[in-house]
Amino acid sequence: MRRKRAAAALLAAGLLLCASCQAREEAVSAAPVYSLATVFTQEIYAGDAAVLEQTPALLAALDAKYNRFSQTSELSAVNAAAGGAPVTVSEEMLGLLARAQEYAESTGGAFSPTLAPLTSLWDFEEKICPAPAAVEAALPQCDGSVLALDAAAGTAFLSQAGAGLDLGALVKGYAVERILEQYRVAGVTSALVSCGSSIGLVGTKPSGADFLIGVRDPDGGAGDFIATLALSDCLLSTSGDYERQFEADGVRYHHILDPATGWPARSGLRAVTVVGQDGAATDAFSTAAYVLGLTDGAAAVRAAGMEAVFVTEDGSICVTPGLEGKITVTDARYTLRVLSE
């Protein structure tokens, strides 16, 4: 079967709307919102579309808190005080950091919210790869134990000088989750939000049909997909080695780092999509499952009550049992395998 090319505008990263989804069933959409270094698009199929107008303010507030590159963000305040004193943070940020710690624990550290000393050594635009000595020096500062939260005092503390938070692996999924919350409060019963790497779905399409979501071809362009997922009422996030990467001296370097080595993860995977009910978790676990590889990644995702699609380097699309019957492979180069319980 030939590869299909989607004409969707949602081309930012791992997930995109299939061409067939573009035949809208009377969706109302808003202008795309640029935030958290990506573009959010929204479509309301059933419910009061006035809620669309609340999204820019919500995303601006999240960006003001979690943007690692803004000097004035709450996250930067915590990073700036590393090795000094605990910093009072908002209840919301404390909650998200607690969730991040929980995900770090349940993925055996494959997801880590404290990788800034490592991630800041890379520049994927400029193709800058760190020196091995710099990676070795940064590793101890990235240990999960550097982050201490005090719920009673309302503080976050990085105990080592040079340590730093980077929530880039979960904040976009979290933002989609928060947008969906606003929709639900407003009584919206059918909608789709996407920032490319994370998608949120409220209900089904008005016809009762599932939304069709494309799984991106890791070797193709942003509009190429290799499979489709038929889904409703859930969130999903993708991590792929094609998102931010470059090649130097015949080696391909990408942005998903293995916290154990400090280098881009080499786990036999090209991409992982995690499907669940909680966007921060789907996002964090898609990153972690990429690092863990097929077997351990699937175990971690299932233990957390979620499902996943793994695109392997050797041309398999492997799904956890809960996605059997929901995925259709559309590219003959790939074979489908349903993982056992």
Give the footprint of ligand AMP on this chain (CB under 6 A).
Answer: 110-112, 115, 119, 166, 168-169, 197, 239, 243, 255-257, 259, 283, 286-287, 291
168 binds, among ligand AMP, Mg ion, none (CB under 5 to 8 A by kind): ligand AMP
**Rule CB under 5 A: is residue 286 a binding residue for Mg ion?**
yes
**Rule CB under 5 A: is residue 283 a binding residue for Mg ion?**
yes
Distance from C-alpha of 204 to C-alpha of 190, rounded to nearest angstrom? 6
119 binds, among ligand AMP, Mg ion, none (CB under 5 to 8 A by kind): ligand AMP
Query: Helix/strand/coil (H, E, C) string of 55-71?
Result: HHHHHHHHHHHHCCCCC
For ligand AMP, which is the closer residue by CB, 226 or 256? 256
For ligand AMP, which is the closer residue by CB, 227 or 291? 291
Considering only CA atoms, give the Rg of the chain: 19
For ligand AMP, which is the closer residue by CB, 54 or 245? 245
Nearest distance in Å: CB 172, Mg ion: 7
Would you say 199 and 15 are in contact if contact means Cβ atoms under 8 Å apart? yes
- Which of 196, 197, 192 shows the shortest CA–CA distance to 179? 192
**Rule CB under 5 A: is residue 323 a binding residue for Mg ion?**
no
- Is the dihedral angle over the CA atoms 240, 60, 113, 307 positive or is it negative? negative
Question: Which residues are CB-contacts of 64 (< 8 A; sequence separation ≥ 6)?
Answer: 70, 72, 73, 74
For ligand AMP, which is the closer residue by CB, 115 or 222? 115
The amino acid sitting at 310 is F
For ligand AMP, which is the closer residue by CB, 154 or 220? 220
Show contacts with Mg ion in window 164-183 (CB under 5 A). Answer: 169
**Rule CB under 5 A: is residue 287 a binding residue for Mg ion?**
yes
Start-to-end CA distance of the chain, whole Å, equals: 30
- Determine the residue with CB nearest Mg ion: 287
φ and ψ of 123, to 5 deg = -135, 105
Structure tokens at 126: 């400029």
Tokens 């676990």 sit on residue: 285
**Rule CB under 5 A: is residue 190 a binding residue for Mg ion?**
no
Nearest distance in Å: CB 191, ligand AMP: 22
φ and ψ of 258, to 5 deg = -85, 110
Nearest distance in Å: CB 280, ligand AMP: 11
For Mg ion, which is the closer residue by CB, 69 or 250? 69
Contact positions toward Mg ion, by CB under 5 A? Answer: 169, 239, 283, 286-287
